[in-house]
Amino acid sequence: MKKTLIKCGWLVTQDPAVGNLVGGELLIQGDRVLAAGKSLDAAHDEVIDASEMIVMPGLINGHIHVWQCGLRGIGSEWMGPDYHANIHANIATRYGPQDNYLGNLIGSLAQIDSGVTTVVDFCHNLKSLEMAESAIDGLEESGIRAVFAHGTAKPPAAPGEVPFTHVPHPRDRIEALRNGRMASDDQRVTLAMAVLGPHYGTQEVAEADIRLGREFGLFTTSHATKPNDKCITPRGYLALAKAGLLGPDHNIVHGNYIDDEELKAIVDCGATITATVLVELHGHAPEPMVMRVRELGGMPSIGVDVEPIVTGEMFREMHAALMSARWIAHCNNAKEGKPALTEMPVLTREALEWATIGNAKAMGIDDRVGTLAPGMKADITMLRANDLNIFPVHDPVYTIVEQASAKNVDTVIVDGVVRKRHGKLVFDDQLLAQRMKEMHASAQRAMEEANFTPGAALAQEGEQRS
């Protein structure tokens, strides 16, 4: 099996046993890290000269709806109700299998291009097994590592029709995927369930969905975005915890409105919470959950969430999560009437942990990804240290979290396979151009069928000014 030696300018492993090294070396064999350290003097078949680069674990995007890639930026000034009315109740209903394939392919390639090696794809517009299969096709073809969280569509109910809030997750689709192409948890794209949870479904549905996930050995993940008086099942996570249905196999996304008692029960059960800080700062008053989870001893997790509203770039999300957490710490200190803090309350390295180890732990894949320890998967991102926006590098972790961006990504390796090199995706140029053209046409068609016009707010503003 081929061995590749990477000679690093800076090696950030996230492994306490190795740490961060100036001039370190990384040896990979096949799809695994074989060794990390100084002057390995190891036999190898190929050398990658990364002597002017920061070599780090690939970023993990802990929560994203990859299928929405073609709708980027259309909702930059939306509030929550606008998103649900325009996307779930309208545009999403126009999507079919090919639309999902194109969105997932281009969206995943964009994630690789920006230094992400793993995504948790909360795919929640699915109306059929065929749509799910096509979405998985896009993930697999891109070369990214993915946890494919099978979700369901949320269309408006027709008169006399049972609303989606009362409909359990489709067992037949989960059974078909789990007994078919998604049977193994060792493959690059694995299966999970994106369930309604108590904020968007009845208690009976929430319990049935988690039990279904456990029956098939699957992680479940759910959205929690509503104040208690707006939830389908108020304080439903507390009830799930008391019923023994919350544990490390369940992940909650957002959770800003969850009170202290319910949050403690969630964390005590070992369930995880993923914050999507940019989206939450965009449209919610309660703080993102990073600091609250951290203060209870949990490991925060972060993701980008909704590209129609915010950027899909994990470097920006990671930096925003850190700045938000620090600001909250300063605010809380001031509210308590204490003197100004004299030491930084949240360290930079923590944000990198959230975007790697924390996200891996949130979906139970931290035995495979999140660090560059020996035996872990060879999921690696390399940043050009001589790029003007980050040169000179004095501390590689500071540079990664607080200075770098997607433009600095030179090389990305996923599962031991080079997916980006010398700043360019390793993907057929003509095919990519064709698929991009098709995705644009797909999104345009869906918006036209939905009678939605992007940029209408700008047009109206211009008319009012003229």
The answer to whether residue 253 scores a pLDDT higher than 70 is yes
pLDDT tier at 466, thresholds 50, 70, 90: very low
Q: What is the pLDDT of residue 42?
A: 86
The rounded distance, in Å, linking the Cα atoms of 322 and 328 is 10
Tokens of 289: 């959950």
**Pairing assessment for the beta strands 59-64 and 189-195 based on DSSP bridges:** unpaired
3-57+371-415 and 59-362: same fold? no
If one compares 464 and 365, the residue with the highest pLDDT of the two is 365
Instruction: Give the start-to-end residue ranges of the domains of the chain.
Output: 3-57+371-415, 59-362
Provide CB contacts within 8 A for 375, sequence distance 6+.
32, 33
pTM for the structure as a whole = 0.96
Q: Report angle CA 133, 434, 420 to the nearest 5 degrees.
A: 80
Provide CB contacts within 8 A for 155, sequence distance 6+.
88, 89, 92, 93, 164
The rounded distance, in Å, linking the Cα atoms of 189 and 415 is 11
The answer to whether residue 458 scores a pLDDT higher than 80 is no
Q: How far is CA 356 from CA 160, 231, 276, 289, in A?
A: 46, 31, 14, 17
The answer to whether residue 465 scores a pLDDT higher than 60 is no
CATH 2.30.40.10 fits 3-57+371-415, yes or no: yes
- Given a contact cutoff of 8 angstroms between Cβ atoms, the answer to whether 10 and 21 are in contact is yes
Q: How far is CA 103 from CA 75, 181, 311, in A?
A: 17, 20, 15
- Given a contact cutoff of 8 angstroms between Cβ atoms, the answer to whether 145 and 415 are in contact is yes
The rounded distance, in Å, linking the Cα atoms of 356 and 302 is 9
Q: What is the pLDDT of residues 128-166, one digit of tens each?
A: 999 999 999 999 999 999 999 999 999 998 888 999 999
Q: How far is CA 436 from CA 66, 100, 201, 309, 323, in A?
A: 14, 13, 36, 20, 34
Tokens of 204: 């009976």
The rounded distance, in Å, linking the Cα atoms of 236 and 201 is 10
Taking the CA of residue 174 as centre, how many other CA atoms within 13 Å lie in the half-sphere pointing to its CB? 24
The answer to whether residue 354 scores a pLDDT higher than 90 is yes
Q: What is the pLDDT of residue 456?
A: 55
Largest distance between two CA atoms of the chain: 71
Q: What is the pLDDT of residues 92-121, one digit of tens each?
A: 999 999 999 999 999 999 999 999 999 999
Helix residue spans in 368-418 (DSSP H): 396-402
The rounded distance, in Å, linking the Cα atoms of 426 and 407 is 16
Average pLDDT, integer, range 418-433: 98
Tokens of 4: 């590749």
Average pLDDT, integer, range 433-439: 98
The answer to whether residue 313 scores a pLDDT higher than 90 is yes
Percent of the chain with pLDDT strictly greater than 90? 94
Query: What's the whole-number average pLDDT of the chain?
Result: 96
Element (H, E) at 434: helix 429-449
Q: What is the pLDDT of residues 15-70, one digit of tens each?
A: 999 999 999 999 999 999 999 999 998 888 999 999 999 999 999 999 999 999 99
**Pairing assessment for the beta strands 145-150 and 189-195 based on DSSP bridges:** parallel
Average pLDDT, integer, range 348-360: 98
- Long-range contact pairs involving 238-244 (C-beta distance under 8 Å, separation at least 24): 238/262, 238/265, 239/198, 239/203, 240/198, 240/206, 240/207, 240/210, 241/265, 241/266, 241/268, 241/269, 241/271, 243/207
Superfamily of domain 59-362: Metal-dependent hydrolases (3.20.20.140)
Q: What is the pLDDT of residues 380-397, one digit of tens each?
A: 999 999 999 999 999 999
Residues present in the chain in total: 466
- Given a contact cutoff of 8 angstroms between Cβ atoms, the answer to whether 298 and 274 are in contact is no
